Structure 1
Amino acid sequence: MSTTPAPRTLFQEWIDDAAVFPPGNAPAPRAWAEHVEMLSGSEGDLLGPLLIGATAAEDLARAVLVHGAPDHVSPVEVAVVGRAGTSVEDVAGAVRSLQDQVHLRVTGAEVTHGEGDWRRLVDLGLRTAVEVPRQGRNLSRALDDLGTGVAEEVGGSDTPTALVKWRTQATPAAAAPDARQLAEFLLATHERALAFKLTGGLHRAVAPGPSGDEPHGALNILVATHHLIRGSTLSELVATLELQDGEALAALLAGLTAAEVEALRARFVSFGCCGVLDPINDLARLGLITTPHTPIEES
């Protein structure tokens, strides 16, 4: 176990709450109530927005009206997700349906590349995550499109208007990506100066090994991204992604400077998880976060 916690900013707003998505499949009322409860707790600062499917926006709106939220966490950040087959227009419509909710602030939107002009969501002032294919020419074309669009929007600014979204779990059509595929994706985003978020299959902090549908660890990817910023090669990234030594990963992260944390999180923005307490508990077991945490400690 690490005896020195990592900088708290390394993990703040890092884990997007995907409770309503598989395999959790929580109904919107339960997901809302549990998310609000966690925001009120000692690790609430580690959570990103509550993710809600575009088709479930009305269910969430009703849950908010019934349950509300305490003043100290309201408004609650929400991101609307359009899965494959959901158009940009449908996502934008769901966003508009939630914007008048007093306890909500819609800060993000997610859509699959090719389902319309993702720039429309950026124009709404939303942090927009665009899911791209896992590999091949279609991946390269999607990344080029995002790279061009982001460069046009920000004019050289370090603030991402759009993120690349990439799936790390097995799907009905394909097995989970291996460490080399993930390393190639990281390199491809780095070459285009693109920020990214990950989705699916990241429930553990440390890689459990290549077998199964969830072979990757969130900390492994965090460390690999740090190494990539410092110039690591593909083979070095693969080795980091496959590392199963949690203490070694924790020791490296505990030693990061504030500038290194800022650069790292500017690239690896967040990941979606349907059971956010799983990675949070792993971070605590490794000594990377202390519990209980209060905002006063950061002032």
Structure 2
Amino acid sequence: MTVPALYRGLFDDAALFPPGELPLPEAVPAHEAHRAAWYAEAVGPFLCGAGRLADLRATATAPLRVALVLPGGSGQLAPALADAAGLTVVGVELADPDVPAAVVALDEQLPSGVAAAVELARGDGLEAALDVLAGTPYRAKFRTGGLAAGAFPTEAELAAFLAGCAARALPYKCTAGLHHAVRHTDPATGFEHHGFLNVLLAAQAGEDAAAAAEVLAERSGELLAKAALDLTDDQIAVVRGRFTAFGTCSVAEPLDDLAALGLLAPPAPLEDR
């Protein structure tokens, strides 16, 4: 069974992070199970903060593809890379209010073959930060939610980020809040959540922020699913060249959503084949 190209490597495993916060002894075997499952092509690296790397080395029973999440600035990079010795580090996600300093640190310290993303702050300085990242080997990282209503960007704000990245040929990843495929209001919190399928399809709008905002606002799973199925191979390559991945504390939830929308089909049981 092959995962459609639109969803391959889309779901970075953020099980350790809020709101899931799965204990490490549970998160590691769960990730290993994901990587052995029929949908393994959809699963990205295991995300781990700098302070948990020693525990991760002690817990993992098989090689893991790990991405280091470093919210404490560029000064965390060298110590975290040293602490990750023995792990298969495939990515670094670095947050630093001084984006030029983050780029310099990555240029000087990032091992060959390791991908990196720089988390950008929302607000007036975003365009300038995008300019700094443009032309570098690094992706932009943008928060699409959190534990408070104010952590969720509006459709217009997220669309402006997507369009700004497209204008600079700058790939990006998202983190937080993309719990389901389709835009919705969380009945428990009242928070407005973006849908990861909305974001995928909005990436096709390129520099047209108004068109991207319209897609981000769509709440019909049926319409979004049809649009996803209608994408050509070339369009899928463009979309995934822009929107590379997002962190999810539950790999199962987005897969279940795709299956419910008819976009992903688990293999039939052996007795039914």
Letter of the structure 1 residue corresponding to residue 244 of structure 2: V
Once superposed, which parts of structure 1, at least 4 consecutive aligned residues long, lie more than 6 Å away?
Answer: none
Corresponding position: 1:197 with 2:169: no
Seen in structure 2, the aligned counterparts of structure 1 residues 54 and 204 have a Cα distance that, compared at 3 Å, is same
Counterpart position of 2:140: 164
Q: Secondary structure at the match of 2:102?
A: coil
Per-residue Cα deviation, 1:176-214 (whole angstroms, up to 9, x for no partner): 111111111111111111100000000100001498335
In the other structure, the counterpart of 1:90 is: 76
Question: Among 45, 48, 68, which residue is 1:52 paired with?
Answer: 48
| 1:16-63 residue CA offsets vs partner (Å, 9 max, x unmatched) | 000001111122222111100111111111110000001111111111
Partner of 2:58: 62
Is 1:281 the counterpart of 2:256? The answer is yes
Residue number in structure 1 paired with 2:128: 141
Q: Does 2:87 match 1:113?
A: no
Cross-structure match for 1:239: 214
Give 3-state SS (helix, strand or coil) of 1:197's partner.
strand
CA distance in 2, matches of 1:49, 1:201: 18
RMSD across aligned C-alpha pairs, in angstroms? 2.3
Q: Report the Cα offset of residue 262 of structure 1.
A: 1.3
Give the letter aligned to residue 236 of structure 1. Answer: A
1:259 partnered with 2:245 = no
Higher relative contact order (CA 8 A, sep 6+): 1
Percent identical residues: 35
Separation in 1, partners of 2:199, 2:118: 19
TM-fit CA distance, 1:258? 1.8
The secondary structure found in structure 2 opposite 1:42 is coil
Q: Which stretch of the first structure deviates more once superposed, 179-188 or 119-128?
A: 119-128
CA offset at residue 120 of structure 1? 3.2
Matched, 1:207 2:183: yes
Instruction: Give deviations 1:225-270, integer Å, cap 9, x for gaps.
Output: 11x13x6x33322221111111111111112222221111110000
What is the aligned counterpart of 1:33 among 20, 29, 33? Answer: 29
1:57-99 Cα shifts (integer Å, max 9, x gaps)? 11111112xxx12xxxxx321100012xx13232332223223
Q: Give distance in 2, aligned partners of 1:47 and 1:175.
A: 25
- Hey, what does 1:224 align to over in structure 2? 202
Runs (5+) with no aligned partner, structure 2: 269-273
The separation in 2 between residues aligned to 1:175 and 1:26, in whole angstroms, is 22
Is contact 1:7–1:258 with CA below 8 Å preserved after alignment? Answer: no
The size of the alignment, in residue pairs, is: 261
Paired amino acid for 1:95: L
TM-score normalized by structure 2?
0.88
| 8 Å contact kept, 1:20–1:26 | yes
CA distance in 2, matches of 1:76, 1:7: 21
TM-score, normalised by the number of residues in structure 1 = 0.81
SS of the residue 2:170 aligns to: coil
Distance 2:142 2:160 in 1: 12
Q: Secondary structure at the match of 1:238?
A: helix
Q: Which runs of 5+ in 1 are unaligned?
A: 1-5, 70-74, 151-160, 294-299
Partner AA of 1:88 in structure 2: S
Measured in 2, the distance between the counterparts of 1:288 and 1:129 equals 28
Aligned counterparts of 1:180 and 1:117: Cα–Cα separation in 2? 27
